[in-house]
Amino acid sequence: MKTIFRFFLIIIISGYPTVSCVPDVTTGEIADGGMVVTAHPEASSIGVEVLQKGGNAVDAAVAVEFALAVCYPRAGNIGGGGFVVYRNSNGAVDAIDYREMAPANAHRDMFLDEDGEVIENLSINSHKASGVPGTVAGMAELHGRYGSMPFHTLVEPAIKLALHGFPVTENQASAFNSNRERFLEVNAVPPAFVKDTPWTEGDTLVQTELAHTLQLIAEKGRDGFYKGEVADYIIKEMERGGGIITHDDLENYRPVWRKPVTGKYRDYRVISMSPPSSGGIALLQLLGKVEPYPLSEWGHNTVRTTHLMAEAERRVYADRSEHLGDPDFYPVPVEQLIDRDYLLERMSSFSMDAATPSEDVSPGEIAYRESEETTHYSIVDSERNAVAGTVTLNRSFGNFVVVPGAGFIMNNEMDDFSIKPGYPNMFGLIGGEANAIEPRKRMLSSMTPTILEKDGDLFMVVGTPGGSTIITSVFQTVLNVLEHKMGMQEAVNAPRWHHQWLPDVISAEPDAFKPGVREELEIIGHRFSERLSIGRVDAILVLPDGRLEGGADPRGDDTARGYNVPDPL
């Protein structure tokens, strides 16, 4: 019961709308120059302006990340972390991990009482819930390797946005109002997200303290955040609230360049994030498990298609619970987990006639030789360099701690560790020793920034927020295009559902299935729960004529912005 409760807790706290609200429009933004798709129109506009000024996809990504920290505070951040998968126009790929880290004083039992039992919500609603932020270091490092425009010019649009303000959307006004008391309870000084009267759509949100922090970052790079004035603000707040992040933790934080995980699905090459994200491995496992079956013939969200995908998902999430963690601390068996023979063996117990109870599904045997609130952006420039970036605070608004004087929200990513083996995190995900808390370790993630190629050329850029549903949302969106021949916007709009092994239930948007499908699936043993909208997929598809189609998720304020290359005179 506790597992199910914590899984559905995210539905209550995420602030998502209660229905999918998918519009009739099935064709997204079309452009032949570049495309930026993000969770907020202000960030998308800033990103495409960078491209129009001659910046590349990485330049736009840096500008977008800092803009999202201003205009999408529930998940865009400089107090959290994330991952970026990059592919240049020549096909070379790279990935940077700027995931948050456990402070040096963290230990495996830090969220347990003297009897070894979990202290409810301590890993979510406290200053101790914060890992060492990685976003600023990640952007500085990414820019240093691949950026082309001066770093300070890429931060300046976010500074102006914070200083002069922007009109909040209806969704944002609702989120600020519903979380007002929580912000006041947690913070000694009311943050910018709290005002005396209720927020309404169109009100201007000004964040002068955040503007000052961004100015220091623009002038000093990573040192503007991890040292000096801002670092002092962070530590002062940690000391006030009983957090454990120190000056040394901040100064010693470093992002890590990772080799992306890659694999094949039919004629497509899939490039995704490697551990400590579980997303890339899980996506390749899912695709490998369903590839032998005629999904295109079976159809979208039909009984057979849904049954097969759900059975694949329950096995993948079981593997995730046992075998995935920070590769700098744990020998993650990457190649074995995505090996084709292993995937076929894992599906050997699959039957088209009946669901496999999750209690009968265990993590696969490996011979070892070696939130829900996140946000994603997809960017393609005129040279067809591509960036898939996913960043997070974990829960919506993290732990609600706004650093006084600095104006940004801290994460509560420590909950993404296995705070006790077998105990579920806020998304209901079970973890084991591979993801136990250790000093300076990075917690496991579900973020799945992904790039696809076809015949050696860029084909798709895709990702989403959604905690444990990230992996299955990307999985479904990819199949919508590859198997069900949908365009990008249509694939993003399509109703979604999710299965994660435990709890043993398919959670589905209200319009996920046509009449009769759910009933037939229940007959063969599947159980269902209706839930709020799943994910906020932002993606870009390269069309056959070379133009780009941006798919921005209508479940949020997500927006695609593109530009066309002027015809030569």
Delimit the domains of the chain by residue range.
37-256+382-435, 258-371+448-557
CA 464 – CA 448 distance, rounded (Å):
7
In 3D, which of 207, 226, 206 has the Cα closest to residue 216? 226
Using DSSP, state whether 36 is helix, strand or coil.
strand
* CATH number of 258-371+448-557, picked from 3.30.420.40, 3.40.50.150, 1.10.1040.10, 3.60.20.40: 3.60.20.40
Neighbour tally for 272: CB within 10 Å: 30
Joined together, the tokens standing for residue 130 give: 């914060």
pLDDT band at 422; cut points 50, 70, 90: low
In 3D, which of 212, 211, 193, 217 has the Cα closest to residue 203? 193
Chain Cα centroid distance, residue 352 = 32
The pair phi, psi for residue 547, each rounded to 5°, is -75, 170
Position 205 pLDDT exceeds 70:
yes
CA 89 – CA 436 distance, rounded (Å):
39
Query: Catalytic residue at 374?
Result: yes
Q: Cite the beta strand spans of 108-162 per DSSP E.
A: none
- Whether 406 contacts 233, CB under 8 Å: yes
Mean pLDDT score of the chain: 92
State pTM to two decimals.
0.93
Q: What is the DSSP letter of 393?
A: E
CA 57 – CA 50 distance, rounded (Å):
9
Q: Assign residue 398 a region (left: φ > 0; alpha: ψ between -120 and 50; beta: otherwise).
A: left
On the CB side of 317, CA atoms within 13 Å amount to: 28
Q: What is the pLDDT of residues 68-127, one digit of tens each?
A: 999 999 999 999 999 999 999 999 999 999 999 999 999 999 999 999 999 999 999 999
Joined together, the tokens standing for residue 486 give: 């949908």
3-state helix, strand, coil in the chain (%, to 5): 35, 20, 45
Higher local confidence (pLDDT), 10 or 413: 413
The pair phi, psi for residue 411, each rounded to 5°, is -80, 165
- Whether 79 contacts 400, CB under 8 Å: no
CA 319 – CA 430 distance, rounded (Å):
10
Cα–Cα distances (Å) from 277 to 78, 201, 222, 283, 515, in that order, read 19, 36, 23, 11, 36
Q: What is the pLDDT of residues 489-515, one digit of tens each?
A: 999 999 999 999 888 999 999 999 999
Chain Cα centroid distance, residue 115 = 34
Mean predicted confidence (pLDDT) in 160-171: 98
For residue 276, cis peptide bond before it (omega within 30 degrees of 0): yes
Residue of 246, 306, 374, 448 with catalytic role: 374
Cα–Cα distances (Å) from 173 to 72, 167, 302, 402, in that order, read 12, 10, 37, 18
pLDDT, residue 419, reads 87
- Whether 430 contacts 420, CB under 8 Å: no
Position 218 pLDDT exceeds 60:
yes
Q: Where are the alpha helices (DSSP H) in 242-392?
A: 247-252, 279-290, 295-298, 303-323, 334-337, 340-346
Position 13 pLDDT exceeds 50:
no
Q: What is the pLDDT of residues 285-318, one digit of tens each?
A: 999 999 999 999 999 999 999 999 999 999 999 8
**Residue 114: partners with Cβ closer than 8 Å, 6 or more residues away:** none
pLDDT, residue 457, reads 98
Mean predicted confidence (pLDDT) in 368-393: 85
Mean predicted confidence (pLDDT) in 382-399: 96
Position 364 pLDDT exceeds 50:
no
Position 1 pLDDT exceeds 50:
no
Q: What is the pLDDT of residues 328-350, one digit of tens each?
A: 999 999 999 999 999 999 999 99
pLDDT, residue 368, reads 30
Position 145 pLDDT exceeds 60:
yes
Cα–Cα distances (Å) from 175 to 73, 317, 323, in that order, read 10, 30, 36
pLDDT, residue 7, reads 37
22-31, 46-55, 357-366, 484-493: least confidently modelled range: 357-366
CA R_g for the chain:
22
